[in-house]
Amino acid sequence: MVPCDDRPGWDFGKIMSSIIQILFCLSVILSFGPTINAYAEDNTQKSISAEDGEFRAVISGEGEPWFDPKTGGRVKFTFSVTDKVNNREYPVYLDNVTAKVFSLSIIQGKLIVMGEEANLHSPVTTLIDLKNREEADSFIGFGNTLSPTGRFLIYRKFYPTQTAEPPVMSDLVLVYDLSDSANENRMRGEDAYRNDPIGRLIEVGHPIYPEINAGKKHYRVWVPEESKRHTIIPNGFFWFDHDRKVAFGDQIGGENFLVVVDLSNGLARPVIHRMEIDLRPLLRPEDRENPAILHEAQPVKLESVQDMKNGKVKARISSAMPLRDNNLEFLFEEEASAVPQQTQDSPPPTHEPQK
């Protein structure tokens, strides 16, 4: 992935980004319409709950808008919260674009609500501060995955695929640090979002991949050259080494890669290891140099990634073709160089992963 053209004249990346944000804004406005009532009759919502040593939260109101004298507005979801330490019970409310709730979890005193908005079915994550009983943050991203310690959320940057040809957009991997504030998880700075509510929803988290985004701390995903676009391979993200490393698959120009990002130096200085996934050792000897067989074996999926220690990981891979074996081992240098140094418009490194 390379920076967009800096020549004077029309910046088509910014133009397209503006169009996408306008269309998405319309969808957000529409999501406050009657479509939310379609979820009010979903009885499966009533069984959603979360609990840790300090709090228990249970969903008690499912997408039914009503007037609340405390907030003076419509409340879409109500959660009954029990403070087990102080033996208190009280309600907290969720009133944003979320139209359906899929799961709850409680991390570091925050209720993490995974859901979606109504019109584009975009995945929405909301963080509710259970002590202050208020929404701490909300954002939209694909494939949210919690790290094992519960400190980080990793996901792909959101863009509405139906408003632009999907190949024009390139995937961007972001990490949200749950131990930090909402503003600390936005690279553009607080002032940049005052007149950009949509940007505040979708430009969230620390860019850790690809290299140009991680190095310059920007959220641009417009990549004109097809051979340089990134497409994250299913099935998601795999954390290991106590949240210090995360692995995932990437497809660039028709080639598949296993990516391991080392966060030991902090989210501001990720170290990226990218290794080609060569399926030939997994095929029958007579098929390994057959272009038709190699083509039919696409696309691949990552089923799991296991840390073998000392700079080695084992990936379990599935394919459209039957494989003789599903496991491949990859070596990477533990002391590889970091991403490009920060620029004048990028913030200094301040975040360290949990030890």
Q: Is the pLDDT of residue 132 over 80?
A: yes
Range among 66-75, 135-144, 332-341 with highest mean pLDDT value: 135-144
Q: Which of 35, 32, 24 is nearest to 161 (CA)?
A: 24
Residue 163's alpha-carbon distances to 21, 26, 148, 160, 168, in angstroms, are 10, 12, 35, 6, 11
Percent of the chain, pLDDT > 90?
Answer: 54
Residue 14's alpha-carbon distances to 4, 5, 330, in angstroms, are 10, 11, 38
| Residue 74 phi, psi (nearest 5) | -85, 135
Cα angle 116-117-120, degrees, rounded to a multiple of 5: 105
Q: Is the pLDDT of residue 44 over 50?
A: no
Residue 265's alpha-carbon distances to 58, 114, 145, 217, 245, in angstroms, are 37, 29, 21, 16, 11
pLDDT at position 18 is 58
Q: Which whole number is the average pLDDT over 255-276?
A: 96
Least trusted range by pLDDT, from 11-20, 80-89, 187-196, 334-343: 334-343
Give 264's pLDDT tier (boundaries 50, 70, 90). Answer: very high
Q: Which whole number is the average pLDDT over 27-52?
A: 50
Q: Is the pLDDT of residue 261 over 90?
A: yes
Residue-wise pLDDT tens digits, 192-244:
888 888 889 999 999 999 999 999 999 988 888 888 999 999 778 999 999 99
pLDDT at position 99 is 85
State how far the Cα of 313 lies from the Cα of 326, in Å rounded to an integer. Answer: 14
Which residue has better confidence, 131 or 21? 131
pLDDT at position 242 is 94
Q: Which of 233, 229, 238, 227 is nearest to 261 (CA)?
A: 238
pLDDT at position 298 is 84
- Here the contacts of 194-201 (C-beta below 8 Å, separation 24 or greater) are 196/21, 197/25, 198/21, 198/24, 198/25, 198/28, 199/21, 200/139, 201/28, 201/97, 201/138, 201/139, 201/140, 201/158
Which residue has better confidence, 78 or 206? 206
Give 46's pLDDT tier (boundaries 50, 70, 90). Answer: low
Range among 34-48, 203-217, 279-293 with highest mean pLDDT value: 203-217
Contact criterion met (CB below 8 Å) for 58 and 49: yes
Residue-wise pLDDT tens digits, 315-339:
999 998 889 999 999 998 765 444 5
pLDDT at position 57 is 96
Q: Is the pLDDT of residue 62 over 80?
A: no
Contact criterion met (CB below 8 Å) for 77 and 116: no
Tell me the average pLDDT of the chain.
80
